[in-house]
Structure 1
């Protein structure tokens, strides 16, 4: 039996964050293209910028299709660039709980260790306010779920329907 839980889609803040970021990167590319500079420098700058535009465009496209997949023996997180699978035995589904950062500020992501963080979207590895490492995939501060693991880090996810996951226990 496989159960899928959709992560919450981007809010308008998240959409605008991606649009502004992509607009800035594309604008920078246009500026570099028309700027008087050596051809090698221009090629290197565009060569660095183009993969960034493509990567963020792909992430923007795929983020609304992200999901948590729980099978009989694994828990998988299908998210852009940071997807992973861990054994079900290492996730404590019975202790899955809804959280609210205003009620539990110690669980709020503080420092990004390896990920993407912008208004309306956080994805990757973060240091929480309490100093603990966590994997975070949030698009909103509503419908947050904390999934404890035995790997010394929790998963903090914004799910479309968190009550479906909480009620399976």
Structure 2
């Protein structure tokens, strides 16, 4: 039976980033085009910009809501939506799994190679000072580092890092 650990990706910082980066600018463009243009093309362009803002907002909320951290006897699945990875438990170095200490430079995310990076969420593939990592981090104070034998590490931030570490070590 799979065990799910909360990540809380649908947080106020990530929602604000989706709104401020993806939705609000398009709404402003749509309103400006609608009020400044008086012809039919301007009205269609305004409708298009507004529709695109709604679609981006809904996709952003969907992406944030599907992020999970699920473990069963054979597999650990991290992420969801456009960015997820499943790792066999046998490939996780459970003896080296540890919690990152707040304020330490232990495996910080440096360069995003394929993923989402915004306030309140780092999801996808990143570079660290020690190589590649797949991250699902919402709270830097709760990061758990899981080295793997597959050539990368997992960085996750479950709501209860100590319970998650204990569960991983029991698998």
Structure 1: segments with no counterpart, 5+ residues: none
Is the Cα–Cα contact under 8 Å of residues 11 and 140 in structure 1 kept in the other structure? no
Task: Name the structure 1 match of 2:156.
Answer: 157
Per the TM alignment, residue 106 of structure 1 is displaced from its structure 2 partner at its CA by: 4.5
Is the Cα–Cα contact under 8 Å of residues 113 and 126 in structure 2 kept in the other structure? yes
Task: Name the structure 2 match of 1:7.
Answer: 7
TM-score scaled by structure 2? 0.76
1:118-137 paired onto structure 2 within 5 Å: 118-128=118-128, 130=129, 132-137=131-136
Per the TM alignment, residue 146 of structure 1 is displaced from its structure 2 partner at its CA by: 0.9
Per the TM alignment, residue 151 of structure 1 is displaced from its structure 2 partner at its CA by: 1.4
Per the TM alignment, residue 100 of structure 1 is displaced from its structure 2 partner at its CA by: 3.2
What SS does the corresponding residue of 1:123 show, helix, strand or coil?
strand
Question: CA 1:34/1:127 → structure 2, altered by over 3 Å: closer, same or farther?
Answer: farther
Task: Name the structure 2 match of 1:79.
Answer: 80
Question: CA 1:110/1:32 → structure 2, altered by over 3 Å: closer, same or farther?
Answer: farther
Per the TM alignment, residue 9 of structure 1 is displaced from its structure 2 partner at its CA by: 3.8
Per the TM alignment, residue 81 of structure 1 is displaced from its structure 2 partner at its CA by: 0.8
What SS does the corresponding residue of 2:116 show, helix, strand or coil?
strand
What SS does the corresponding residue of 1:76 show, helix, strand or coil?
strand
Q: May I ask how many residue pairs the two structures share in their alignment?
A: 163
Per the TM alignment, residue 99 of structure 1 is displaced from its structure 2 partner at its CA by: 0.6
Is the Cα–Cα contact under 8 Å of residues 92 and 148 in structure 1 kept in the other structure? yes
1:6-155 paired onto structure 2 within 5 Å: 6-21=6-21, 22-31=23-32, 50=52, 54-55=55-56, 57-100=58-101, 102-103=103-104, 105-128=105-128, 130=129, 132-155=131-154
Structure 2: segments with no counterpart, 5+ residues: none
**What root-mean-square deviation, in Å, do the aligned CA atoms of Structure 1 and Structure 2 show?**
3.1
1:88, 1:154 → 2: CA distance?
Answer: 13
Greater C-alpha radius of gyration? 2
2:154, 2:99 → 1: CA distance?
Answer: 12
2:154, 2:111 → 1: CA distance?
Answer: 15
